[in-house]
A = this chain, B = another copy of it.
Amino acid sequence: MTQTHSPQQRVDAWLGSFSAALATGDVAAAADLFAPESYWRDLVSFTWNITTVEGRAGVADLLTHTLEGTRPSGFATTAEATESDGVTEAWITFETAAGRGTGHLRLTEEGAWTLLTTLRELKGHEEPQGERRPQGVAHTLTKGRKSWREEREEEAAALGKDRPPYVLVIGGGQGGIALGARLRQLGVPSLVVDRHDRPGDQWRKRYKSLCLHDPVWYDHLPYLPFPRNWPVFSPKDKIADWLEMYTRVMEVPFWSRTAVRSATWKDGRWSVTVDRDGESVELTPTQLVFATGMSGKPNLPSLPGADGFRGEQHHSSQHPGPEAYAGKRAVVIGSNNSAFDICGALWEHDADVTMVQRSSTHIVKSASLMDIGLGDLYSERAVANGVTTDKADMVFASLPYRIMHKFQIPLYQQMAERDADFYARLEKAGFEHDWGADGSGLFMKYLRRGSGYYIDVGAADLVADGRVKLVHGQADHLTEDAVVLDDGTELPADLVVYATGYGSMNGWVADIVDQETADRVGKVWGLGSDTPKDPGPWEGEQRNMWKPTRVQNLWFHGGNLHQSRHYSLYLALQLKARYEGLDTPVYRLAEVHHTR
């Protein structure tokens, strides 16, 4: 494995040695093929978990526990290996006893630096696509043959009555819908329930100026990509229409106007009571997935005096849009995405707007984020370079969280330089700005805490030039007609918007199951980075997302459209394996260090 060989030869040699070590069960030899600083990230293929191990000891531990059951084989590259800056990269394929996988390898002179292994399909349970797609009709006439529509109608009528769903997905946003689509393709009897009138209402019912802040290339759903004319930034009603239509054409089993009242685990199943359009229905799924939104459970501060406030007050998630507030005095508490969006829309509709900044916020201009932060993977440029959505997702997945910030920091340094004037103006206006705890910017903040930033789509200028007033402090209490800050500042208000963020998703478990179960499952989201709102110890992966939790048969799914798309595959495969009764020994089930 000297550098005189080609990248492909180096990879072939490494894969050959790795395969040989695995085939003979020589864990030590396999571990020695990794660099002293190294990361093996596995998505379900070896571990029936989503986990990253570090260093040779980590590799040895993983293999010691998983090798016998996994029986990996057939490691090969799927494209010519490449090299740059002393790092050799290759896309790989392999098999296990249960399934087929793909992955990615980075080699340095010291051995494997990063290895990604992912499960793509289960043997004998491949999805009915392409050559395997359904015929749609049997070309032999038989009495009593049913039409597609009759079959769908009978299925819908039986679901939740004669035929319990194996998986119940609570929440029908992009996450629940994407997972529902995958489970349908995998033939797992499932049901997605959602409290709104129809799919897409999670977006449709938000304030009218809302658009996705992530670009179209990042937002595709599984199976059915957006067409080439789709806007870069989907307006909320347009993405809502897409989700509604997607649910229909992908035949996702979906109950609208259905709220989950309670769930309890008994006798190897969940017993879930839902209110379906006024009717109480008992469901008995084996698996329960919370897809209720990592930004779904509002943090609503209870301020003294709130009851006596004579104006309107609501959480940002309940904000109806600006139309009713022309000429009114609006105080928006918070300075992240929702706060800026709402301040901007209120200002556009002639409200008198004050933003209350409680702590520093990270802002990046959308164009800079698109170009520098996402452009290589998710952009028209990436598409032109052959970086498909799936490939981009895999590149992203191949970067271990432990070192991801190192890749991010220089990008944000570039943004700071490009938009130096902008940040100078913000600073001059008194806005408290940060770049994240270690300068790693927006995406790491998103992964660590899911908050603390604004992707600027225009509203920052309003703050910078004073069209939206800026004050600092914590809201202390309300009077009949004002918000009073902890320094005594009184902000006269007809409207108070609490853009105060969201709590951990296990709060939903407390509401629907019970507090004990919520505590047992622990905090959801975050990496354990020991940065604000993401306490350590280091977890290696996002807490409780898309993988087994400490509560049996209880799962979490969600995140942005990218995550809903990509990780829904691994969650769906885990659920499918259990539905089919496959052996799914979980390696290194994460411990719970925090309850919220």
Contacts and interface: CB of A to CB of B under 8 A. Distances in A.
A134 interface: yes
A167 B533 CA distance: 57
Q: Which of A139, A185, A459, A462 has the most CB of B within 10 A?
A: A139
A385 interface: no
Interface string A201-214: 00000001101100
Contacts of A141: 344, 347-348, 458-459, 461-462
Contact of A137 (B133, B229, B235, B248): B235
A129 interface: yes
Nearest to A128: B229
B147 A209 contact: yes
Nearest to A127: B229
Contact of A232 (B136, B148, B366, B458): B136
A458 B145 CA distance: 12
B231 A142 contact: no
B249 A241 contact: yes
Given A229-B128, A241-B249, A139 B235 contact: no
A458 B137 CA distance: 10
Interface residues of A, number: 64
B223 A228 contact: yes
Contacts of A130: 228, 380, 383
Contacts of A135: 231-233
Nearest to A153: B237
Given A211-B137, A229-B128, A229-B223, A235 B144 contact: no
Contact of A231 (B134, B459, B462): B134
Contacts of A235: 136-137, 147-149
Nearest to A208: B147
Interface in A205-253: 208-209, 211-212, 216, 223-224, 227-238, 241-242, 245, 248-250
Q: Which of A130, A242, A245 has the most CB of B within 10 A?
A: A245
Number of chain copies forming the complex: 2
A148 B237 contact: yes
Nearest to A141: B458
Interface string A116-154: 000000000001111101111111111111011110100
A457 interface: yes
Contact of A143 (B216, B232, B348, B380): B348
Contacts of A344: 141
Contact of A237 (B147, B224, B232, B383): B147
B149 A208 contact: yes
A131 to B, nearest CB: 5
B250 A227 contact: yes
A83 interface: no
A576 to B, nearest CB: 15
B139 A458 contact: yes
Contacts of A227: 129, 223-224, 249-250
Contact of A136 (B150, B238, B349): B238
Given A139-B458, A227-B223, A458-B139, A232 B147 contact: no
A264 to B, nearest CB: 35
A185 to B, nearest CB: 6
A367 interface: yes
Interface of A: 127-131, 133-145, 147-150, 152, 185, 208-209, 211-212, 216, 223-224, 227-238, 241-242, 245, 248-250, 344, 347-350, 366-367, 380, 383, 456-459, 461-462
Given A136-B233, A140-B458, 12 more contacts: A128-B229, A129-B228, A131-B380, A133-B229, A135-B231, A135-B232, A135-B233, A141-B462, A148-B231, A148-B237, A223-B228, A238-B249
Q: Which 6 A-B pairs have CB atoms at the shortest separation, nearest pair first? A: A136-B231, A148-B235, A245-B245, A136-B233, A149-B237, A129-B228
